[in-house]
Amino acid sequence: MSEQEYYVPHGTYWPIIGSIGISTLFIGLANQMHGVEWGGSVMGLGFAILVFMMFGWFGQVVNESTNGIYNKQVDRSFRWGMSWFIFSEVMFFAAFFGALFYARALSVPWLGGADNNIFTPDLWNAFSASWHQMAFLAPGTELQSGTVMSFPEVPATGIETATPAMVVDPWGLPALNTGLLLASGVTLTFAHHALRAGHRNQIVGWLVATIALGVAFLGFQVMEYGHAYADGLKLTSGIYGSTFYMLTGFHGFHVTVGAIMLTVILYRVQKGHFDADNHFGFEGVAWYWHFVDVVWLGLFVFVYWL
């Protein structure tokens, strides 16, 4: 392809297939939410169409690339396209971290009567401002850890006592998961180095390690959710529960997508699609993984520690 000619396919049916897939997916979702019987299946069909489109469309782009019909200007377009996608991702997570900061540092203290604002404790006299506001557990509720909630009486006074039970402990799974994800950042960096040095076998090994660490992270995250949920931390557990699940849930979704993208890159490495100088597909996915890694580090520091 000459440097002057910018490759554009003459005709493509993938965009219309994508539109049909998304429409089907959301028609199914909306009906599912309204309790319609066929909602779930239509949603699944829409998802299947979307996956079909991704395989087909992305596969076609990969073929065009390996056939050498892209010039430098097309390469620049891909790079700018990726940067705009990243910009939207940064804004997405910035909004959620912003929500965390706003709720924790401003709105909850205001509701508790801090400052001289119009919000006063008179809103509801039983309200006490607490970031980790949790739902009360009914007596007899058994926690996953085997403990049972009860209202014992202090013998001398006969007054019910209240001692909290630990639900989320930063020293446990969150610290382990941070270690796993950081290790995946290190292995990915080794893969990146091997690619730039032209050592294909090493790239494969480091990429497999990166994907395995990502999958292990997801597995422990599922365990952590099960533990927290069983112990009473839910989406409905006040503002803390909402922001906790929103941030960690969307992050987990991004790790899932990143692991799928890394698997595709692994396949492409084995097929010999990249060399030391031309590997934008790898660079895009690597940056994405580093970004998702940094988001988790922010979560670990701001949600669990500071």
Partner 1 sequence: MTEIVVVIIIVAILVALGFGLIGMVKGGREGSDKMFKSLVTRVTLSVLLFLLVLFSGYMGWIEPNVVMVDAPVAQSPAQK
* Footprint of partner 1 on 44-63 (CB under 8 A): none
Q: Which is nearer to partner 1, 252 or 274 (CB)?
A: 274
**CB nearer partner 1, residue 20 or residue 182:** 182
CB 173 within 8 A of CB 224: yes
Asked if residue 226 binds partner 1 (CB under 8 A), the reply is no
Does residue 298 belong to the site contacting partner 1 (CB under 8 A)? yes
Residues in the chain: 306
DSSP 210-254: HHHHHHHHHHHHHHHHHHHHHTT--TTSHHHHHHHHHHHHHHHHH
Which range touches partner 1 (CB under 8 A), out of 60-68, 111-119, 264-272, 281-289? 281-289
Cα distance between residue 294 and residue 61, in whole Å: 29
Half-sphere exposure of 235 (CA within 13 A, CB side): 5
Binding piece for partner 1, criterion CB under 8 A, among 48-56, 181-189, 245-253, 254-262? 181-189
Cα–Cα dist 258/72, whole Å: 26
Residue (74 or 215) nearer to partner 1, CB: 74
Token pair belonging to 141: 């509720």
Size of the site for partner 1 (CB under 8 A): 68
Q: Assess contact for 181 and 256: CB atoms under 8 A.
A: no
Q: Which of 28, 217, 231, 243 binds partner 1 (CB under 8 A)?
A: 231
Please report how close the Cβ of residue 194 comes to partner 1 at its closest, in angstroms: 11
Segment lying near partner 1 (by CB under 8 A), choices 42-50, 52-60, 80-88, 117-125: 80-88
Q: Give the contact letters, 133-172, x = binds to partner 1 (CB under 8 A), - = no.
A: xxxxx-x---x--xxxxxxx--------xxxxxxxxxxx-
Q: Encoding tokens for residue 99?
A: 């929500």
Smallest separation, CB 235 to partner 1 (Å):
14
For residue 80, the SS3 value is: helix
Cα gap 125→127, rounded to integer Å: 5
Query: Using CA atoms, how far apart are residues 9 and 306, in angstroms rounded to an integer?
Result: 51
Q: Which of 9, 179, 198, 219 binds partner 1 (CB under 8 A)?
A: 179
Residue closer to partner 1 (CB basis): 68 or 146: 146
Q: Which two tokens stand for residue 226?
A: 């099960």
Whether the Cβ atoms of residue 24 and residue 18 lie closer than 8 Å to each other = no
Q: Which residues bind partner 1 (CB under 8 A)?
A: 75-76, 79-80, 82-83, 86, 130-137, 139, 143, 146-152, 161-171, 175, 178-179, 182, 185-186, 189, 192-193, 196, 228, 231-233, 240, 277, 280, 283-284, 286-287, 290-291, 293-294, 297-298, 300-301, 303-306
